[in-house]
A and B are shown apart, each in its own frame.
Chain A
Amino acid sequence: MVRFLVSRLAQAAAIVFLVATLSFVLIHMAPGDPMQAMGEWSFVSPDVIEQQRRLWGLDRPLSEQYLRYVANVARGDLGYSFAEHRPVAQAIGERIPNTLVLAVAALVVMFGVGIAVGALQGARARSRLDDALSLTTVVLYSVPVFWLGLVLLLLFGQALHWLPVGGATDAVLHSHLSWLGRVGDRVRHLILPAATLGLVGAAGVARYQRAAMLEAVRQDFVRAARAKGLAERAVLIRHALRTALLPTVTLFGLTFPLLLSGAVLVETVFGWPGLGKFAVDAIRNRDYQVVTASAIITAVMVTAGNLLADVLYRFVDPRTRTA
């Protein structure tokens, strides 16, 4: 297990390094001066501009710039945000927890709902319920996540007034609430964005889980379990579903990039102060270092997530543990 972890960590580091390289390549392939934003910001002092030039070595040959860039990234120096007048790392650092909270909540919805629906469909394959659920998942799978967000916002926020219409916390009341009240406030604001992001993903997971369940139910050992006289529920859950979950766990790792991509749109629709919204705003503000830094950071998050998923998988499938 330790050897496995070490090798995967090394792989992860290599990927992050390559992502930084890709970033560098893209920055330099783009038309214009990589620091062109600086010319657009008339109120940034010339000293800061000079400092940045030196830091990133813009007056040096390309190869040296590359090395400096990588070294900076490795140190955690991701540049300077001109919109916020502070290091990008700091600005992003504040946003990451919000995106993580949203992503994790969406993940729970996604797999919770997805597995339940998919397993149910698999157990009742080709029934009317299965057909109805299949139709639902195909539709949900095809809905643009930002449109779903707007629709839910319209319905639950503006029409029914059950849930807030944006932000992570209530702009006015939050600081005046008790500790419990503040937690509740945050949860209320989390519901719609997490549901939006989670439901679209859940449709995908359900489709996958249904197929896995159909495959599992056909296996010899399921028939053998029935022959042992076990209750049908035990057969379906302990034998069929348990093995049908394995492929879904591999799906786990694949969902991280999709979740983060979706988060960008959801955060924009709901005004959720996360990394995605920050990156989109940065494009509008021409704060390019934020944009490239966010690509690197999300790559790190995805890689870390994949590593976690791999460890989880080894834990769950005993066949991978031995030999």
Chain B
Amino acid sequence: MKPLLSVRDLRTTFRTADGVARAADGVSFDLFPAETLGLVGESGCGKTVTALSILRLIEGPAGEIGAESVVEYDGRNLLQLPESELRAVRGAEIAMIFQEPGASLNPVLSVGTQITETLLAHRVMTRATARQRAVELLELVGLADAARRMNDYPHQLSGGMQQRVMIAIALSCEPRILIADEPTTALDVTIQAQILELLAHLKHQLGMAMILITHDLGVVAGLADRVAVMYAGQVVEEAPVRQLFAAPQHPYTEALLNAAPRLDRPADRLAAIPGAVPPATAWPEGCRFHPRCAYGWERCTTPPPHLEATPGHRARCWLVEQPSRRRA
């Protein structure tokens, strides 16, 4: 099956006071039609930057996407498209929802206006039709009293409702891919569950592919078909979700799984990963996780490429070739 979206060797850098931050440093993954890919990692690993880079939302002059990077969609490299063609893709074919729904909605425009403007930007229809469609969308995302909500302003809605509006906007033109950047992180736990359920339901109904970005492994376990784990600006492991949880190949993934508290394994202390994430201006030489890794040995000074453990499951770790080194 041909991938719907193919990200190859994505490099995004930012010029900062402390030097050049290589936020995304050779990120590659594929997204297949109607699947949910979970993009997992701690803060600072480059997952949001990757998402923004796909739609070329990186702000110059400080931010820059490398010239050799490729984001292939529909046979075209999005990173090289002229602005007008890219605009046709944004919002209509690939849509994005953000972490803080309150901040991502314009405070002085009504909810209805923000939905209709997307519709009118991409489709030919009358304003009245657009408004009608907007009401339908609000109902689709489970907003009660949709017709009245059209005239409300974002500050009048709760966090969960704001996120539903964002989802409505994103889905308005029936995109083939939805990029959801930490869609529930800023919400209360109970609301989180509702929104995730909504996303799962809509995804299924509309046959969309989704890139779900999160630091929460629980979210991934519930929704994703495949998972890509990111560390220090790179994808370090990629696998179908069950395999990732059952047999993680990369020590970082293993450590993340161990660090998460579990009901079936009560522990006196949570297992933290020793050390800290290095700054993006100074990634370590060789394998980037090497300084914090429990298994590291001399070979790790050479940066490992993606090695395939089983079909569809690969990791950037020499342990794939030398599994005997995996001590208990």
Asked if A229 is at the interface (CB within 8 A of a chain B CB), the reply is yes
A221 touches B106 (CB 8 A): yes
B90 touches A229 (CB 8 A): yes
Asked if A40 is at the interface (CB within 8 A of a chain B CB), the reply is no
Asked if B243 is at the interface (CB within 8 A of a chain A CB), the reply is no
Q: List B116-172 residues whose CB lies under 8 Å from chain A.
A: 117-118, 121-122, 153, 155-156, 166, 169
Asked if B271 is at the interface (CB within 8 A of a chain A CB), the reply is no
B57 touches A227 (CB 8 A): yes
Asked if B259 is at the interface (CB within 8 A of a chain A CB), the reply is no
If A231-B87, A319-B153, A319-B155 are given as contacts, then 17 extra A-B residue pairs at C-beta distance below 8 Å, sorted by A number, are A221-B104, A223-B98, A224-B96, A224-B104, A227-B98, A228-B90, A228-B95, A229-B87, A229-B89, A229-B92, A230-B121, A238-B109, A242-B108, A243-B107, A246-B108, A318-B107, A318-B108
For chain A, the count of residues having a C-beta within 8 Å of the partner chain is 24
B87 touches A224 (CB 8 A): no
B153 touches A318 (CB 8 A): yes
A318–B107 alpha-carbon span in the complex (Å): 8
A225 touches B107 (CB 8 A): no
A224–B107 alpha-carbon span in the complex (Å): 13
Asked if B91 is at the interface (CB within 8 A of a chain A CB), the reply is yes
| B122 surroundings in chain A (CB, below 8 A) | 229
Write the residues of chain A forming the contact surface with B, with a CB cutoff of 8 angstroms.
Answer: 219-221, 223-232, 234, 238-239, 242-243, 246, 316-319, 322
| B169 surroundings in chain A (CB, below 8 A) | 228
Asked if B88 is at the interface (CB within 8 A of a chain A CB), the reply is yes
| B107 surroundings in chain A (CB, below 8 A) | 221, 243, 318-319
A238–B103 alpha-carbon span in the complex (Å): 16
B121 touches A243 (CB 8 A): no
A229 touches B88 (CB 8 A): yes
A57–B83 alpha-carbon span in the complex (Å): 78
| B89 surroundings in chain A (CB, below 8 A) | 229
A219–B95 alpha-carbon span in the complex (Å): 19
A229 touches B121 (CB 8 A): yes
A223 touches B87 (CB 8 A): no
- Which residue on chain B has the smallest CB distance to residue A221? B106
Q: List 18 A-B contacts (CB under 8 A).
A: A221-B103, A223-B98, A223-B104, A228-B90, A228-B121, A228-B169, A229-B90, A229-B91, A229-B92, A229-B118, A229-B122, A230-B117, A232-B83, A238-B109, A238-B117, A246-B108, A316-B108, A319-B108
B108 touches A243 (CB 8 A): yes
A226-B108 CB under 8 A given contacts A319-B155, A322-B156: no
Q: List B70-105 residues whose CB lies under 8 Å from chain A.
A: 83, 87-92, 95-96, 98, 100, 103-105
A228 touches B118 (CB 8 A): yes
| A220 surroundings in chain B (CB, below 8 A) | 98, 100, 103-104
A226 touches B121 (CB 8 A): no
Asked if B55 is at the interface (CB within 8 A of a chain A CB), the reply is yes
A27–B100 alpha-carbon span in the complex (Å): 59
A219 touches B103 (CB 8 A): yes
- Residue among B95, B108, B122 having the largest count of chain A Cβ atoms under 10 Å: B108
A230–B90 alpha-carbon span in the complex (Å): 8
- Residue among A226, A229, A230 having the largest count of chain B Cβ atoms under 10 Å: A229
